[in-house]
Structure 1
């Protein structure tokens, strides 16, 4: 379908149906351009909580649309591609996690928002990379903690908070793909550059970074830091909005071990959403995210605690 046609139809349907389009920074550029709001997981969760729209079109991955539905039981939540998943969420099956939790009965559970509603329902608190440190530090020092599903983020939090955490062994395929050797090579060719990395990255990448933070944190760092060149170690979709915000700065995506077309790290799940799929899901109002009220109310508790703390 023609891009101009799709854009015009999306705008028309959005107005006609009182819909809002929420998009993650890792979405395709065409989707970011038409979205009402672009953000990271925390910003999108807050936006979903406060929207007056009747329909939320969530251009992101499955767990994000699910979180939006948990926060908005009376709104219709649709997503462009039902199969847009997440390696972190998929790597933490509810039955396995229930057994893991039973092995540590005196621990409270903090889960990264990149997990299913079933995992959230087993949690005491949910966090995002933007507020994870704050969430952990809000828990009394003597209280033992399970942190899931991201082991790399958990290890980073152990260092930052000086807390010992029982970690679930999960990881994000996008943030584990960065090559240290290639990163060092790029840095040696750009010695004045600053490296900004997401805490889901592996420890050897974080050790090389000048700044470690969430997607929005990285964006704010690059906007405000006086350096002229930045090497960015997170999903390459972040560069679209960032390039517009800092046109005078040079942004280099951190290289991956793969010899892929963009020489950067892209989330295949995030890129499953397209402008055409977004148009069709708004037109047909499906696939629709549905969740049982019992599961929704249990999963809402730790999300609500997170939103109150942040």
Structure 2
């Protein structure tokens, strides 16, 4: 029996669904029931009729699924797959930051721990940060933990944003030089980048999109695209857009933690059920309020 066959058999026995982030290995995306961005997958987890959710991503993503699905078992096949940006702010640091700016609302990127979400007023994603910030009553905003997303959001609001100095190491390594070289190497192609990129990179890009935004835009354009985000997304871009050309802005834009999940870890997780995510209820309820408020604003 192949690994894929083992996984499908175990999935049926456990009444499970497999969710995979857009940055996962190609074979992990292929075995998944749904692929998407971190919060979109957590929303999908709420909708699906399953008793067990296998979340193939990094730690905060599985946490979000567990926050929103307290009655389901959420498995993280590789619990040690953490997010460096998420680790760049702690609840205590956020508490002290709030004391420095007592009149400011706290907007927390979903790329953060459950405990940090619980200290925040509202969560945001890379695709709705601008809408979330502009919908708030407060004129001042603490935007944590990603400095680059905060500064990108600042371009589209009159509110004063105080950014935290966190960053995604994978996106932060993309340089202005990478963009210029890509434009020379692929004349006529459009360069699209993620909001987690440096501001000078964003200035040179032809478009700025979240991962899901990139997937949607790719279906509408006839041009070749240079992709300024983690290279794993190119697997799905090519799969959904046969005949179109996609080039990484650099072959080195790889998140090693996103690549830790394999077919073996998924099989072992379903077989042993030892990688369940458990969040203390006091933290879960606080974090859920911030996530729910994001959804409420998003519906408005």
TM over 0.5: yes
- Residue 146 of structure 1: CA displacement? 0.6
- Is 1:16 matched with 2:6? no
2:95 paired residue among 91, 94, 98: 98
Residue 257 of structure 2 is matched in structure 1 by 269
Residue 280 of structure 2 is matched in structure 1 by 292
Q: Which secondary structure state, in structure 2, belongs to the residue aligned with residue 100 of structure 1?
A: helix
- Is 1:253 matched with 2:248? yes
Q: Give the Cα–Cα distance (whole angstroms) in 1 for the partners of residues 252 and 221 of structure 2.
A: 23
- Is 1:49 matched with 2:46? yes
Question: How is 1:173-212 mapped onto 2 (pairs within 5 angstroms)?
Answer: 173-212=169-208
Residue 240 of structure 1 is matched in structure 2 by 235
Between 1:94-103 and 1:113-122, the stretch displaced more is: 94-103
Residue 113 of structure 2 is matched in structure 1 by 116
- Is 1:154 matched with 2:150? yes
- Residue 219 of structure 1: CA displacement? 1.3
Q: Give the Cα–Cα distance (whole angstroms) in 1 for the partners of residues 158 and 197 of structure 2.
A: 19
Q: 1:46–1:307: 8 Å Cα contact kept in structure 2?
A: no
Residue 296 of structure 2 is matched in structure 1 by 308
Number of residue pairs the alignment of both structures matches: 298
- Consecutive unaligned residues in structure 1, runs of 5 or more: 256-262
Q: Give the Cα–Cα distance (whole angstroms) in 1 for the partners of residues 38 and 268 of structure 2.
A: 24
- TM-score normalised to the size of structure 2? 0.96
Q: 1:79–1:286: 8 Å Cα contact kept in structure 2?
A: no
Q: 2:194–2:228: 8 Å Cα contact kept in structure 1?
A: yes
Q: Give the Cα–Cα distance (whole angstroms) in 2 for the partners of residues 223 and 44 of structure 1.
A: 20
Q: Give the Cα–Cα distance (whole angstroms) in 2 for the partners of residues 246 and 58 of structure 1.
A: 25
Residue 165 of structure 2 is matched in structure 1 by 169
Q: Give the Cα–Cα distance (whole angstroms) in 1 for the partners of residues 78 and 189 of structure 2.
A: 37
Between 1:11-20 and 1:98-107, the stretch displaced more is: 98-107
Cα RMSD (Å):
1.2
Q: 1:42–1:130: 8 Å Cα contact kept in structure 2?
A: no
Q: Give the Cα–Cα distance (whole angstroms) in 2 for the partners of residues 246 and 264 of structure 1.
A: 23
Q: Give the Cα–Cα distance (whole angstroms) in 1 for the partners of residues 180 and 217 of structure 2.
A: 21
Deviation string 1:90-143 (CA, Å, 9 cap, x unpaired) is 111222221111211111100000000110000110011111111112113x53
1:220 paired residue among 186, 204, 216: 216
Q: Give the Cα–Cα distance (whole angstroms) in 1 for the partners of residues 41 and 17 of structure 2.
A: 12
- Residue 162 of structure 1: CA displacement? 3.3
Residue 29 of structure 2 is matched in structure 1 by 32
Q: 1:199–1:212: 8 Å Cα contact kept in structure 2?
A: yes
Q: Which secondary structure state, in structure 2, belongs to the residue aligned with residue 162 of structure 1?
A: coil
Residue 6 of structure 1 is matched in structure 2 by 3
